[in-house]
């Protein structure tokens, strides 16, 4: 059992719905404050928020692969066929 139970499942759901907007800074000040307050008192929601933040950060940092030379050449040839030479 968790000790203090001033945490209400309804707040968890409200927060859960808005997490992405929170992470993206798309919420107003009051809503952000509410979310932060809840997260400070609810480990489950705090954990959910941190893992979602991390998920987003990972996506933003995944590196691109270089385009294969061979394909780049092929693409050039295809376009040369279509684009008339001036």
Q: Is 29 or 66 the residue whose CB approaches other proteins more closely?
A: 66
Q: How many CA atoms lie within 13 A of 65 on its CB side?
A: 4
Interactions with Zn ion, residue window 41-60 (CB under 5 A): 42, 45
Structural contact between residues 19 and 48, judged by C-beta atoms closer than 8 angstroms? yes
User: What one-character DSSP code corresponds to residue 25?
Assistant: T
> What is the CB neighbour count within 10 angstroms for residue 22?
20
- Decide if residue 23 touches Zn ion (CB under 5 A): no
Site residues for Zn ion per CB under 5 A: 12, 42, 45
Site residues for other proteins per CB under 8 A: 12-13, 16-17, 19-21, 24, 26, 43-48, 50-67, 71-72, 74-76, 78-80, 82-86
């Amino acid at each position: 059992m968790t000790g203090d139970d001033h945490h209400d499942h309804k707040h968890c759901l409200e927060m859960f719905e808005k997490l992405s907007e929170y992470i993206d800074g798309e919420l107003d000040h009051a809503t952000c404050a509410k979310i932060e307050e809840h997260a400070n008192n609810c480990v489950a929601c705090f954990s959910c928020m941190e893992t979602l933040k991390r998920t987003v950060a990972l996506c933003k940092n995944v590196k691109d692969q270089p385009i294969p030379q061979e394909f780049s050449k092929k693409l050039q040839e295809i376009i040369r066929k279509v684009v008339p030479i001036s």
